Structure 1
Amino acid sequence: MDTRPEPFEPPAPVPRTGIPSRLEIIRTVLRNPLELWGEPSYTLPWIETKFINQRTLIVNDPGLIRYILVENAANYEMSNVRRLILRPILRDGLLTAEGEVWKRSRKAMAPVFTPRHAQGFAGQMLRVCEAFVDRYAGASSEPFVTNVAVDMTELTFEILAETLFSGEIAVEKQGFAANVEELLHRMGRVDPMDLLVAPSWVPRLTRIGGRKVLDRFRGVVSETMSLRRRRTTEAPGDVPNDFLTLLLQLEGPDGLSTSEIEDNILTFIGAGHETTARALAWCFYCVANTPAYRETMEQEIDSVLASGADPVDWLGRMPHVLAAFEEALRLYPPAPSINRAAIEEDAWTSPEGERVPIRKGISVLVMPWTLHRHALYWQKPRAFMPERFLPENRDKINRFQYLPFGAGPRVCIGATFALQEAVIALAVLMHRFRFDLTDETHPWPVQRLTTQPRGGLPMKVSARVK
């Protein structure tokens, strides 16, 4: 039984009080942007602030979020700061492309990620997870300690490699998680020059050394494309009809350029699995701190697996497992901020008649991190309470108060893929093993493009006694 008098509150920065100096803001953003936000960001529907010469509108109201991301999305482009951080890594990949380039890429990839097509990956996801859990079983007959953050990065990479690339990514799986960690640590952080909105040609000292890591990833992309082209030429009847083949078939003047294909492959190899991996690790941690709910999940998993249900149906048949993952996504959104800038003057009027002016050029910040912990929209917002997401409670959640995958035209193309992958991974791992805390399990959330546990997430893994 879970004997806690109150729901478990996992670690997170306490809202800042007082007005920080400019130097304090810079130091905090460089250390961990999640620690910057003050009480108003967690209690008010919107706030307008100014830093140096850049005005920022921080948006939490679901109606205003809907207006910016959906109803008048054409008036909002990626903000300069976000562009300065991401474009050096992903260039014209789906996350960073804009205008016609983005439209071409999104249209080209949409068929692969329709819910029906994504469901077709369930069998492959299951096989990869079973092979992964066999490695756990082979590691030791006794309980052992492992860094779950690293393990989930490796598992989700293997799932992505098998489902979208038919296992033909030109990189060793061993050590891949460390390469991703290095890439995000060196290239995925805010530099002081970004805060000053300095031109991209101005050196970013915090990213020195990151170019080598990025070049290594681009080499992987180039070799992966070459291997598939060679296979297409030498054995055209034996080429898998996967994501990689689709992209290469679209190469040409009427489709995607070679560089656009490279950028999109890098986006998926370098970041496409990372968000799911982080949420899975946080989910294991939160569930370990909520033993009564964990038992409910285990019973649900055991029942569905004993029934022989097809893995394509697990997403719909494991509501408690899905709810735990969605609550982990709420508390630790892998993408903690959505950055836009207003192209032209705009305004929004609330249902109560309050007018919010949106100035031309203003930075607009929609932050899942604060939105998901906002006092106006959530009961006990800092607590891990998966029951919020059970089917009978789901209607209470406004579509625009919960944004783990964004919203509007740029909503995450792989949302269904990620949810199915997460439920299958949790089910396979929790069916055979139990994850518990150790004396060294003290994670702290840090923003490095994704919401990562600083220092990793060591947990004790032991075979379940049934």
Structure 2
Amino acid sequence: MDMQPEPFVPPAPVPRTAPPSRLEIIRTVMRNPLELWGVPSYTLPWIATKFFNERTLIVNDPGLIRHVLVDNAPNYRMSVIRQLILRPILRDGLLTAEGDVWKRSRKAMAPVFTPRHSQGFAGQMLRKAEEYAEKYAGCGTTGATADISVDMTELTFEILSDTLFSGEIVSASEKFSDDVDQLLHRMGRVDPMDLLRAPAWVPRLTRIGGQKVLDKFRGIVRQTMDQRRARMASDRSKVPNDFLTLLLDLAGPDGLTNEEIEDNILTFIGAGHETTARALAWTLYCVSNSPQVRERMEAEIDRVLASGANPVEWLDLMPHTRASFEEALRLYPPAPSINRAAIEDDAWTAPDGTRVEIPAGITVLIMPWTLHRHELYWDRPRAFMPERFLPENRARINRFQFLPFGVGPRVCIGATFALQEAVIGLGVLMHRYRFDMTPETNPWPIQKLTTQPQHGLPMRVSERRAT
């Protein structure tokens, strides 16, 4: 009788069994917010509490999530703390803009990220992934160690640069991904002043030094815009019809201001690849600890690549590869929290008749980190079990219990782009190489805007012989 091995349970904070003190909250949020949440957050459908004397509703129930993010979405704005952290970096970029500015930007960019248009990027994604895979050429069957967290950031940045900006992002640094890392991790940290909701003009000591990186980035964006505008004025017929050109064409009284264009370019350059990169690294790590999962993925990938299938079809032809990526998104959601605040009094009634009051001004926390590991909604929630996401099992997953890309009007505009990019990247890399643990591979998830492995993710990369 064949015995199925126990699924891999990757590292994650153990839920707290006692409420933290105010000082503990500050220390934990500054160090790693993922370590803050207690047993109720993983077992109850909702929790009404106070956070620094601020009324807070922690929401896990899929029906209540739908109410807040979809059915009554106009009644919920971005929370103050979230905006205090992100707006100094992104200003009126798509992630932080609200109201008419957000609607105008979203409508303008939507055509680039329709499923059909995103599929048109498949060939470029494949080419860049194949070029990047050459980095490991010659590692042999004995292998060489690489920081996969860094490498996946480089890969996804190269794909984003090529597909959306035609490779024309101005940069004086060969390690542009390092600049991105510095920007997000110096400026994107929670500061005690944020928790106290101090005005934006109050200095944030934890971000000292970050402004220099931000100024450098804004300079890069302006140079990129100026360079493209000069080409557009010189000979429009030779200018690529890409995302950058689209944004610049929108400048004007009926479109976007120059500042809004700059903010959105910065948003996509700075954050557009980061989420996919983190999820790819976590996928390779989890798969390396799941031999049967890896065998199924390798067989599937080898078969599809041997068939010569167009890369635009890989997402549908590689269900095991896609399922592993989505399971990594579940366990390590790149965006671990969705923060809103109620504008007016609201209420929601559960199927059993329980009424949840949502008073004006209350902060509503919807956390994919706890939702994706919640005992009410998942079987063995802490285990890596990609079969959950295979086509025959997907119907069991409520649309509002799996939120790696958010949901509702502000759902991630690049979700289809990211899924396609991930499957193509995994297909290319795992066809040629295996990624294995090393004695130094001991990742710990930490929230710094995205869910990333603290101290990187060193792994041994070795050549494999496709069968």
Shorter-chain TM band: over 0.9
Q: 1 CA distance for matches of 2:201 and 2:20? A: 30
**1:246-266, CA deviations, whole angstroms, 9 ceiling, x for partnerless residues?**
000000000000000000000
Structure 1: 5+ residue runs without aligned partners?
Answer: none
**Secondary structure at the residue paired with 1:292?**
helix
Q: 1 CA distance for matches of 2:293 and 2:5? A: 14
Contact 1:158 1:173 in 2 (8 A): no
- Please state if 1:454 is matched with 2:432: no
**1:36-75, CA deviations, whole angstroms, 9 ceiling, x for partnerless residues?**
0000000000001112221110000000000000000000
TM-score, length basis structure 1: 0.98
Which residue of the partner structure matches residue 352 of structure 1?
Answer: 352
**1:244-299, CA deviations, whole angstroms, 9 ceiling, x for partnerless residues?**
00000000000000000000000000000000000000000000000111010000
Q: 2 CA distance for matches of 1:307 and 1:5? A: 31
Q: 1 CA distance for matches of 2:244 and 2:47? A: 43
**Secondary structure at the residue paired with 1:146?**
strand
- Please state if 1:339 is matched with 2:354: no
Which residue of the partner structure matches residue 463 of structure 2?
Answer: 463
Which residue of the partner structure matches residue 398 of structure 2?
Answer: 398
Contact 1:154 1:173 in 2 (8 A): no
Q: 1 CA distance for matches of 2:176 and 2:245? A: 23
Which residue of the partner structure matches residue 258 of structure 2?
Answer: 258
Which residue of the partner structure matches residue 431 of structure 1?
Answer: 431
1:180 deviates by 1.9
Q: 1 CA distance for matches of 2:321 and 2:380? A: 21
**Secondary structure at the residue paired with 1:49?**
strand
1:22 deviates by 0.5
Which residue of the partner structure matches residue 316 of structure 1?
Answer: 316
1:160 deviates by 0.2
Contact 2:141 2:464 in 1 (8 A): no
**Secondary structure at the residue paired with 2:137?**
helix
- Please state if 1:32 is matched with 2:32: yes
- Please state if 1:233 is matched with 2:228: no
Q: 2 CA distance for matches of 1:403 and 1:286? A: 20
Which residue of the partner structure matches residue 159 of structure 2?
Answer: 159
1:136 deviates by 1.6
TM-score, length basis structure 2: 0.98
Which residue of the partner structure matches residue 78 of structure 1?
Answer: 78
Q: 2 CA distance for matches of 1:181 and 1:445? A: 16
1:47-58 matched pairs, under 5 angstroms:
47-58=47-58
AA at the equivalent of 1:422 = A
Which residue of the partner structure matches residue 303 of structure 1?
Answer: 303
Which residue of the partner structure matches residue 109 of structure 2?
Answer: 109
Equivalent pairs: percent with the same residue? Answer: 74
CA separation of 1:280 and 1:194: change in aligned 2, threshold 3 A: same
**Secondary structure at the residue paired with 2:49?**
strand
1:140 deviates by 6.6
**1:295-347, CA deviations, whole angstroms, 9 ceiling, x for partnerless residues?**
10000000000000000000000000000000000000000000000000000
CA separation of 1:138 and 1:220: change in aligned 2, threshold 3 A: farther
CA separation of 1:140 and 1:299: change in aligned 2, threshold 3 A: closer
**Secondary structure at the residue paired with 2:452?**
strand
1:235 deviates by 1.9
Which residue of the partner structure matches residue 386 of structure 1?
Answer: 386
- Please state if 1:124 is matched with 2:159: no
Q: 1 CA distance for matches of 2:197 and 2:3? A: 50
1:142 deviates by 5.1
- Please state if 1:209 is matched with 2:217: no
1:184 deviates by 1.9
Contact 1:70 1:408 in 2 (8 A): yes
Return 399-408 or 164-173, whichever deviates more.
Answer: 164-173
